[in-house]
Amino acid sequence: MILMAGLLQAASPAAHAQTPQPGRLANLDHLNFLYDTVDPPEQANHTTYRLAQEPDLGVVWVYTQHNPDDSYTRLGGGVYDAQTKTWGQGTFDTDDITRNAVAYLRHWRLNGDDHSRQHAYQLLRGTAYFQTLAGPNRGNFEIWMQPDGTLQHVQKPHDGNDEQANWSLARGMWAYGEGYAAFKNSDPDFAAFLADRLALSFDALDREVLDKYGQYQVVDGLRRPRWFIPGCYCEPYGDAGATADAMQGLIAYLKATVGASDAGTRRLRARAERITTQFAEGLTQMALGDAYTWPFGAIMPNPGYRAVWHGWGSMMPGVLAEAGAVLQRRDWVEAAATSMARFAPHVLAQGGPDAFWAPTPALRVQWGFSVDSLVQNLYKVGTLAHRDSLRDLAGLAAAWYFGDNYGSAQMYSPQTGRLFDGLEGNGRVNTNAGAETAHAVMSMLLLDANPDLARRALAWRPGERYTWQQAEAEDGTRSGDTTLSESCQFVVAEGWCSGKEVILRPGGTVRLTVQVPRDGRYLLMPAFTRMQIPTGAAALTVSANNERLASVDVGGAGDKGVTPQPGYPDVVTLDKPVNATQRQLTIDIGYAGQAGHEIRLDGVLVQPAVEWHVAGDTNAAQALLRSFSHSWETRPVSLPDDGPVTARAYDTAGRLVRTAYGRSGSVDAPVPPGGFTVVTSEALTGRN
């Protein structure tokens, strides 16, 4: 996220109100408020479609401030200079112009709305203006523009510019691809222009990214692809999330050019197929863990680090499934389905997509950007893999917007079209509403097109949530040779601890007393620093309620490779469960092994053998159960809806394996090993 400060005069509400059709959730009023036009001065190597005839380009304000009178003020990025009337970073940026263009394109195509068509057209023209047409940076994008249309060649490392492929190139390709598909019949000249700009983008990819195709980098012992698009200068080793956004445009173009007859389109399509294949091959190598071990099968977003997953910009499973469908690679579709079936149910049961797990869920912050990625991934993968289980979960994931979240807060309003900027784990809402509202609109368009999923999303009222919790090592009772660290030893992108760490040396122990919501079986997941030392040199001994559970080797990190320092934060799931009685666990962790080492313990995640979440009311209700057990389990589920209920149990690939039925809102729900079960009331069944 880019920090901003400063104010302009409060703007009035959007001049053009696009009230959603009755029963529709997508409302573009706030996007219209953020939309603007600019007539840029002449700038070398930058132009766009029909610039002489149509000098005004579509742009989008990046941020807003929520005012005490409930109005909003549009903001740029950085500090505002009243004398020069400029912003420290800029006013408009390609990352948001492109995503808003996609939102308008999808709204136009779903609803036939000409206003959305015009805004999409102008925003695509605006996108193209940012692309550099000549010189060593040909095909890349500038990121920022000032209010008068002057491009801002920002030098700050976290912003970037056209000197390197980055998120802006990726999202420019996304917008171009979807724009081509939308305009190819109604405006073939404009579509041809977008295809030419796609070709220019391909040139940049081949020059700066895919020249590394087939090369690998070592990341704390892992072998990771080098041929992903970098997110920014701070991610020199590539970013799978940025690459996934580019693939959204590639796939849209491939779908739109099936059976193309002209030679130019066939040549560009062949390039798009090749690039899509190369990127997809990389994504298939980015999954980590399994149904039981962190990160639970997730396709990881950053090939330069192994201990960080983030929810935002994580469209990797969805585009991998789409690429598999378009290019007839069923193995890619199945890989995406397996990843989502293992990962997404746990994400939803524990409270939704946090901004980061690094590796523990230390930063309990959530953004609509992350939620949209989860919704789109579940829908795309579920549809293409023929997994109704995953498709149905897309509706539950979208319930976050309406209040199924940490704060029971409505984050998106169908009446105003606003998406609030963020939600903290304590329920505090950031009520600013910036350009990432486009992601909420994209989620709402998906719900509008799929009324059964909209019903699931609107059955949001939160009930019981029974899931993991973190016991902090620094809160324990220490004995022997231990000290308390002042801070984490890793930089943010490499992973971080959730507070301070306990440093254990020979003879050192820490005792944690953990209050749990209910008695039953739990799995323990110690979080510690895995070191670049030989295996067997040092270990953690873990006991609970005076029962020895495991010895956890803390060595074997492997060659640090491209990472800043040896070792990495890790989480390990112990195989042996422990029974909690009187809603309490007493966990003892000690040092074992050779002298001369220090073990850094962050804490312990305490995971129920079966976790669950219930949502809904007497009109419609649903529950999700996710198992960390290695055997079949049964759990009684009571929904607030007192009608017939169905429990469908799915394996670790999302395939239906058992069904149970109940009455009066109750059912004994079967839960398969490592799999998940969805319980629904009668009101939520059906596909229309």
DSSP for 474-540? GGSEEESSEEE-SS-SS-GGG---SS--EEE-TT-EEEEEEE-SSSEEEEEEEEEEEPSS-TTSEEE
Domain that holds residue 622: 617-684
Residues 486, 544 share a domain: yes
What is the pLDDT, as a whole number, of residue 443? 99
Residues 555, 525 share a domain: yes
Q: Is residue 309 part of a domain?
A: no
| pLDDT over 50 at 653, yes or no | yes
What is the pLDDT, as a whole number, of residue 21? 64
Across the beta sheet with 151-152, the strand order is 92-93, 144-145, 151-152
Whole-number percent of the chain with pLDDT over 70 = 93
Q: Is residue 382 part of a domain?
A: no
- pLDDT digits over 656-671, tens only? 999 999 999 999 999 9
Average pLDDT over every residue of 110-138: 98
Which of 576, 607, 638 represents a domain boundary (last residue)? 607
Residues 590, 630 share a domain: no
What is the pLDDT, as a whole number, of residue 7? 35
Average pLDDT over every residue of 284-288: 98
Confidence of residue 486 (pLDDT cuts 50, 70, 90): confident
The more confident residue out of 87 and 1 is 87
Residues 626, 603 share a domain: no
Q: Is residue 372 part of a domain?
A: no
What is the pLDDT, as a whole number, of residue 564? 87
- pLDDT digits over 567-602, tens only? 999 999 999 999 999 999 999 999 999 999 999 999
What is the pLDDT, as a whole number, of residue 362? 80
Residues 571, 510 share a domain: yes
Residues 621, 602 share a domain: no
| pLDDT over 90 at 674, yes or no | yes
Residues 595, 676 share a domain: no
* Cβ neighbours around 679 below 10 Å, total: 27
Residues 580, 621 share a domain: no
Q: Which residues pair with 624 in a beta bridge?
A: 613, 678
Q: Is residue 633 part of a domain?
A: yes
Average pLDDT over every residue of 389-417: 97
Instruction: Please report, for the domain that includes residue 547, its CATH number.
Output: 2.60.120.260
What is the pLDDT, as a whole number, of residue 237? 84
Average pLDDT over every residue of 87-113: 97
Encoding tokens for residue 115?
């206003």
What is the pLDDT, as a whole number, of residue 233? 60
Residues 542, 628 share a domain: no
| pLDDT over 80 at 430, yes or no | yes
Question: How many domains is the chain partitioned into structurally?
Answer: 2
Average pLDDT over every residue of 51-67: 98
Residues 592, 533 share a domain: yes
| pLDDT over 50 at 2, yes or no | no
- pLDDT digits over 247-266, tens only? 999 999 999 999 999 999 99
| pLDDT over 80 at 96, yes or no | yes
Q: Among candidates 592, 597, 595, 627, which has minimal Cα distance to 611?
A: 627
| pLDDT over 60 at 283, yes or no | yes
What is the pLDDT, as a whole number, of residue 19? 53
Q: Is residue 352 part of a domain?
A: no
Q: Is residue 127 part of a domain?
A: no
Which of 559, 577, 607 represents a domain boundary (last residue)? 607
| pLDDT over 70 at 56, yes or no | yes
Reported residue count of the chain is 688
Q: Is residue 269 part of a domain?
A: no
| pLDDT over 90 at 462, yes or no | no
**Cβ neighbours for 675, distance < 8 A, ≥ 6 positions apart:** 291, 341, 626, 627, 649, 650, 651, 652, 657
